[in-house]
Amino acid sequence: MQKGFTLKERDFFKEPFNRQEIKTILKEAPVSDMFNFNSPSFKKTGLKAHDLNDDELIDLMLGEPRMVRRPVVIVNGKTYFGASQKVLEEIL
């Protein structure tokens, strides 16, 4: 691990995000960047992505953490959602 590098891990199934945390993590990014539309939990809802606004997407993530696109990684103030191992290796 690099010198000065701090790693904070959070199991958001045990400690779910709240609405303000989601908005802080997103900054200016669209909510859809953080949402896992491929989640079986989302597919079970029968909802269509294009029918949902940002608040509805956040409500779904608050109610079911499996709908958060994982992993959520923040490095030097930039947030990566669903980054592959290759991408993580490159940014770390």
The verdict on residue 47 lying in a domain is yes
User: Which pLDDT tens digits describe the chain residue by residue (92 residues)?
Assistant: 455 667 789 999 999 999 999 999 999 999 999 999 999 999 999 999 999 999 999 999 999 999 999 999 988 888 999 988 998 888 87
What CATH number is given to the structural domain containing 27? 3.40.30.10
CA–CA distance, 62 with 51 (Å, rounded to integer): 18
Task: Go through 15-32 and write b for each residue having 16 or more CB atoms within 10 A of its CB, e for each that does not.
Answer: ebbeeeebeebbeeeebe
Report how many domains make up the chain: 1
The verdict on residue 11 lying in a domain is no
The verdict on residue 1 lying in a domain is no
The verdict on residue 7 lying in a domain is no
- Which pTM was predicted? 0.86
The verdict on residue 9 lying in a domain is no
CA–CA distance, 71 with 79 (Å, rounded to integer): 10
Domain enclosing residue 58, as ranges: 19-91
The verdict on residue 87 lying in a domain is yes
